[in-house]
Structure 1
Amino acid sequence: MNKITADNVIEQYIKPLYGFAMNKTRNIDDAEELAQRIVLQVYDVLLKKDNFIDLNSYIFKIAHNVWTRYISEKQKHICDKSINNMDLCETSYFIENKIIENETAGILRREIAYLSAKQREIVVMYYYKND
């Protein structure tokens, strides 16, 4: 296909391809990145090939393939973190302490709620305002 025809096809499919990307990613930045990759791939194919039986299906098949590669790359980046140098016991200790602190804070809030308004005001002023 010649360049002018390929440009016209790309102009027609810019919004639908962006919509496809937005539907798949649900994030504007990721959708722009994915749409850019899709348009580049479609443009490359349009310039190399002349005859298409169903251009619409072909374009969206390319879009789907680019999306699967994009997701695969994203998952590889997520799984790249190594746990060799992590101290898992220490992390577990911090998580347990955080849970205990949250439970203790909840119990204190409940007990303070049972106090009279004047007593609550005194507790709050003594412990929270008087650092």
Structure 2
Amino acid sequence: MSAFSVDPNSPFSSRIRLLIAEDSQGTRHNLINLLAFEKDIEVVGSVGRATQAIELARQLYPDVVLMDINLPDKDGLSATTQILDISPIISVVIMSVQDEESYKRRALQAGAFAFVVKPFDVDNLFRTIRRAAGRSV
């Protein structure tokens, strides 16, 4: 777990609103459980399909979307583009088991803020989410 804490009097006392788009229910469940300990991050939605992520992004306007690169109905990169069309201030962090430069480059070209490789270093993932939300770490 991360030792990050937020001073309730700081300008960053509001929680980071996070939407998770990951086709593995087990991974989604694990992420939600880990993030429950992070006082400054709130999971506002968790879905297994790209079309669901796009719709929830339209409804909820999360600060950050944690998006798997491979989803059953549409790839995470095209979903990223559509989410950024909805609101360019939403930050998308792409997740993948592929640790290849071509994947990272494609994610950034699609407008993603960052690219993280599964399995995660949890502290690095949480730092990336915070940076994507504009928080200093």
TM-score (norm 2): 0.21
Going by fraction, where is helix more abundant, 1 or 2? 1
Q: Which has the larger Rg?
A: 1
The structure whose residues are more often strand, as a share, is 2
What TM-score results when the alignment is normalised by the length of structure 1?
A: 0.22
